[in-house]
Amino acid sequence: MMLPIYMDYHATTPVDPRVVEAMMPFFSERFGNPASRQHQFGWIAEEAVESARTMIAQLIGAETKDIIFTSGATESNNLAIKGIVEAWKQKGNHIVTVQTEHKSVLDTCKKLEKSGVLVTYLPVDEYGMIDLNQLQDVITPKTIIVSIMTANNEIGTIQEIEQIGKICREKDVFFHTDATQAIGKIPLSVKSSQIDLISFTGHKIYGPKGVGALYVRSSSPRVRLSPQMEGGGHEHGMRSGTLNVPGVVGLAKALEVSVQSMEDESNRLLSLRDRMFDRLTRELDEVFLNGHPARRLSHNLNVSFLHVEDNALMMSMKDIALSTGSACSTANPEPSHVLKALRLRTERLHSAIRFGLGRFTTAEEVDYVLDRVIENVKKLREHSPTYRKVREQSIFHSL
Contact indicator for 302, 154 with CB cutoff of 8 Å: yes
Please name the CATH architecture into which domain 5-11+262-398 falls: Alpha-Beta Complex (3.90)
Distance, in Å, from the CA atom of 179 to the CA atom of 320, rounded to the nearest integer, reads 27
* Fold exhibited by the domain 17-260: Aspartate Aminotransferase; domain 2 (3.40.640)
Q: Is 328 part of the annotated catalytic residue set?
A: yes
φ, ψ of residue 5 in degrees (nearest 5) = -100, 135
Mean pLDDT of the chain: 94
Dihedral angle over CA of 59, 63, 65, 67, nearest 10 = -30
Residue spans of the domains in the chain: they are 5-11+262-398, 17-260
Radius of gyration of the chain (CA): 22
293-338 confidence digits (pLDDT tens) = 999 999 999 999 999 999 999 999 999 999 986 555 455 567 899 9
The pTM is what? Answer: 0.94
List 287, 328, 370, 390, catalytic entry: 328
Banded model confidence at residue 399, pLDDT cuts 50, 70, 90: very low
Residue 27: how many CA atoms within 13 Å on its side-chain side? 7
User: For residue range 104-144, what is the model confidence (pLDDT) as tens digits?
Assistant: 999 999 999 999 999 999 999 999 999 999 999 999 999 99
Nearest to 206 by CA among 158, 245, 252, 152: 252
How buried is residue 105: exposed, middle or buried, by Cβ count under 10 Å (0-12/13-18/19+)? buried
Query: How far is 216 from 67, CA to CA, in rounded Å?
Result: 6
